[in-house]
Structure formats: C-alpha cells, structure tokens
A and B are shown apart, each in its own frame.
Chain A
Amino acid sequence: MTMVDAHVQGGHAITPPTGTARLLAADDPAHAAHLARFGALPGRRGADAVIAELERAGLAGRGGAAFPTWRKLAAAAQSGRSGVIIANGSEGEPLSAKDSTLLHRSPHLVLDGLLLVAAELGAAEAHLVTTSAQLAPIRRAMDQRADAGGIRLHETHDRFVAGEASAVVNGIERGRAIPRDHVVRLTASGLGRRPTLVLNVETLAHIALVLRFGADWFRSIGSSDDPGTRLFTVVRGGERAVVEAAGGTLLSAVLRAGGADPARVRAVLVGGFHGAWVTGDAIDAPMSPAGLAPFGASPGAGILMVLPRGECGLARTAQITAYLAEQSAGQCGPCANGLPEIAEAMGRVGRRDRNSSLPRQLRELTALVTGRGACHHPDGTARMVLSALDAFDHDLRAHARGLCQEAAA
C-alpha cells in the first residue's frame, strides 16, 4: 500500500490533525468517523521499520513509567518467538479518567494500535484488558470492523495494583490481577511464558497515529523531551476533566484547560497517588520529564490533583496513604507490614499529633519498603509520602505544635 492509498478515504485526502486534538480529534466514537478523520490502517512495513519510526518519534509509554516504547517493541521482537500483545486499559488509579475517556471516545485508535503492533511483530495473540464500564463501548467498536474479531477482551478488577503489568498478565492467566515476581522481563517471558508486550491504551493510540502520519508529524508539537500530545486528568474535588495537551505544556495551563484556577491552587499532586506533591514555582513548570525533574515529579500517567487553598495537604496525604496501604496486595512482607505502619504515622501527622519524631519515622519506614516488593507499589507510595514532607514542611512544623496553618488561614 502506498502512502497516498493509506491517506485517502472515500475519495478525499486525509489531513493529519494539526492542533493538540489528536487522540480526541474524531467527531464521534464510530468507525465511520474514525476513518473519516484518520484514514484506513497504514500498510505493513516490517517490525524493524516500525521500531525505527517509533524511535524517531520519541514516544514514551503513557502508563506511568515513561519507558521508550520502541525499546519495548525491540525487546519483544528480539526474542524471535511469536508472542502476546496486551493493551492495558486497567486504569487502576482511582483519580485517572484518561484511559476510560480514550476508550469511550476513540476506541478505534486503540484497536488500530493493538492490531498494528500485533501484525508487525507477528504476535500470536492480542488482548485488551479494561474495567467493566468500558467493555460495552469496546465491544461495540470491535463489532463495527471486520479485523478486530481476534482480539480477546478481558474485564479487570477495580484495584489499584491490578494495572501493574505482571498483574495484568496474572489476571488473564489465572483470573487474579495481582502482581507477581518477575526476575525475567515480561518481554522475554510473560503470558504462558511467551514474550509479552504490555502497552498502555494511550500508548497504542499514539502508535496508530505515528504509523499513519510519521515521526516528524508526531514531534511537530510537544517539547523535545516530551514530544507529541498526552492526556491529562485534572482532578478537583469530585470532578475530573480529561485534557489533551502538547507535551511540555505549563502545568498551570493544563490546570486551566481542566477548569482549575491556578491562583486558587495551593499544591498539585502530579502523577497521581504514586506521584509527587508540588507547590509554588512548580505550578508554572513545563509538564515534561525535564521540566518537572527539579521538583522531584514526572508526568507519570498525567494525573493532576488539585489541593485548593484552605485544605491541609498533610491530612489529604494521610487519607491517600491509608488508601494505598489498603490496596497492597498483601503478598510481600515489607509492603504488607510497612505500608500500614507508614499510613499510621502519616495519619498521626495529619491529625497534628505532637510527636516530633514522626517525620523521621516516616523517612525510615519509606526507605525500608522502597525496592522491596514484587511491584513498585511500595516505591510509589514512599515517593508520594516523602514529597508531602517536603512540599508541606511548614505545615509539618506547625502540626508538630498542634497547629494547622491552612485551617487557620
């Protein structure tokens, strides 16, 4: 298939999206609107060419860890065995709404990405894992096209750690979506011991666009360290807004696009419950890995939770930590024992307990659990707690005297 064929649909040429609406550019979720906006699937070009295009594009995973996507594909291809591709739409993080929004609004881009990667890597199986509310729209999308019949759809549990890659594999294999120990990378041995590539659904949707419109188009917006667009979930109170913005957009601009007034923001939890609290200058930092690094944060899966002025960051952190401790799969000793102790100490800090050794205890406990689990749940929890101690250090001192600055303000 030539480039021209690929981009002509129903007699009119397809123009690649020009603004920041890329993933969400189609008029509606139906296959007809998808084809009208993006055109048919591009022709096969071979695994090496696909990997090279993704490397040029600089696409990094949107599931949280920002691992270069081309490297994961290269690792899976390298095994030489026919493997398994899994689209991860688990979205275990309760704050996040970007994957469910994508699956509702642009299911065909996700299906395209999954089918393209599976075909190019010669995979034996393609799976899509998501939560119950997304099953119907995905099934509807699969029924609208002739090429999606082979995709196996799975429902996952609503649990924070269910979306971790080895938990996703476990869920498909044994119906229990909890992480497992994997000394060997999943790309070498995963589902049924076959090479397994787990990719976030947003990552797959970007792949579908890069393989249509090319790496140069992908990089034409965004920053050099965070090219393309990404989906953000802006959370304030009980409201969540999903925003597609160019990589490296200022945090304050993404907040505004999500309906939050940066002037009324006291702090932002960047990256969700495993992310980092940022305050002050960071509100105007670029939402890219390099822009956020000085503040100890990273874009992660694009979650921005606003702490409004007048609310106590330490009390909020205590609530989140209690939730995260409860979400431990309970199978690793340091996580099962350490997270509840961290939550207990953080709870005391939040309640203005006058025990001045609590911050030190928290630093010791977080160091003790980090790196000591089958998944990174302890690491992410520790990072978030430590970031709160830094971001809210004034309040920490006030709380140790039984006061709360924010409540008094």
Chain B
Amino acid sequence: MSTPTRSGKVLHIDWTRCDARGSCTELLPELLRSDPWGYPLPAGGGSDVAIPAHLAAAARDAVGLCPVLALRLS
C-alpha cells in the first residue's frame, strides 16, 4: 500500500465530547466519513487518525473549529 508522506501527527477523537456536529468530516473528507449517526468515522476505524503531511493544515483547522473541543492533534 502506498501511503503519502506522514506528518507525524495523529488526530485523536474524544468520543466523550464529540456531539456529531460534523465540521471535521467536512474539513477532512479524505480521512473522515460520517457514520450512520453523524459521528466522524476514520477510514481505518478507531479513534486515532495518522495525518499525512499535505493535510496537516486542514487537521489543525478541524481541531480549532470543533465547537466542543473533541479533537486533539499530537
């Protein structure tokens, strides 16, 4: 599988905060789909998404724009 250059950053979803407002799935459609209930669904499942370098800025935006601070980049 060919993977784009990684940014070394991982986006973590805090499910105890996320309330399916959906702005992250709009900002990162390459990485997050919406599940049947509106919650972000990473392509590989789980709660953590490795961020490729070319999406690092979009990931930062998603973190900043999540209204309930459910996203963390580390």
Q: Which residues of A contact B (CB under 8 A)?
A: 179-181, 183, 331-335, 337-338, 367-368, 370-374
Residues of A with C-beta under 8 A to B17: 181
Can you name 12 A-B pairs with beta carbons within 8 Å?
A: A181-B14, A181-B17, A183-B72, A183-B74, A333-B38, A333-B39, A334-B15, A335-B15, A337-B39, A367-B45, A370-B45, A372-B13
Identify A374's interface contact among B16, B39, B74, CB under 8 A. Answer: B16
- The answer to whether residues A371 and B47 also contact, given A183-B72, A183-B74, A334-B15 and a CB cut-off of 8 A, is yes
**Measuring CB to CB, which residues of chain B are less than 8 angstroms from any residue of chain A?**
12-20, 35-39, 41, 45-47, 72, 74
Residue in B14, B16, B19, B35 whose CB lies within 8 Å of A368: B35
Check if B16 sits within 8 Å of A180, measured CB to CB.
Answer: yes
SS class, residues of chain B in contact with chain A: loop
Question: Which residues in A have their C-beta under 8 angstroms from that of B46?
Answer: 371-372
Q: With A183-B72, A334-B35 in contact, is A368–B41 under 8 Å at CB?
A: yes
Q: A334 touching B37 by the CB < 8 A rule?
A: yes
Q: Which residues of B contact A371 (CB under 8 A)?
A: 45-47
- For chain A, what secondary structure do more than half of its interface residues adopt (helix, strand, loop), or is it mixed? loop
CA distance A381 to B40 in the complex (A): 21
Please tell me which one of the listed residues A181, A367, A370 contacts residue B15 in the complex, with CB atoms under 8 A apart: A181
Give the CA-CA distance A179 to B47 in the complex, in Å. Answer: 15
Looking across the interface, which residue of chain A has its beta carbon closest to that of B15? A332
Q: Evaluate whether A374 and B72 lie within 8 angstroms (CB atoms) in the complex, with A337-B37, A368-B36 already known.
A: no
Instruction: With a 10 A CB-CB cut-off, give which of A180, A338, A368, A372 has the most chain B CB atoms.
Output: A372
- In the assembled complex, the CB of A299 is this many whole angstroms from the nearest CB of chain B, namely 25
In contact, B37 and A333 (Cβ under 8 angstroms): yes
Task: Name the distance in Å between B40's Cβ and chain A's nearest Cβ.
Answer: 9
New contact pairs (16) apart from A181-B16, A181-B17, A333-B37, CB-CB < 8 Å: A181-B14, A181-B15, A183-B12, A183-B14, A333-B20, A333-B38, A334-B15, A337-B37, A337-B39, A367-B45, A370-B45, A371-B45, A372-B15, A372-B39, A372-B41, A374-B16
Beta-carbon contact of B16 and A372 below 8 Å: no
Cα distance A7–B20 in the bound complex, in angstroms: 60
Bound CA span A372–B17, Å:
13
Chain A nearest CB from B37 CB (Å) reads 4
Are B15's CB and A373's CB within 8 A? yes
State whether B12 touches A331 (Cβ < 8 A): no
Distance to closest chain B CB from A374 (angstroms): 5
In Å, the complex CA distance between A331 and B39 comes to: 13
Q: Which of A180, A181, A183, A371 has the largest count of B CB atoms less than 10 A from its CB? A: A181
Q: Are B47 and A372 in contact (CB under 8 A)?
A: yes
Closest Cβ neighbor of A367 among chain B residues:
B45
CA distance A367 to B35 in the complex (A): 12
Asked if residues B15 and A374 are in contact (CB atoms below 8 Å), the reply is yes
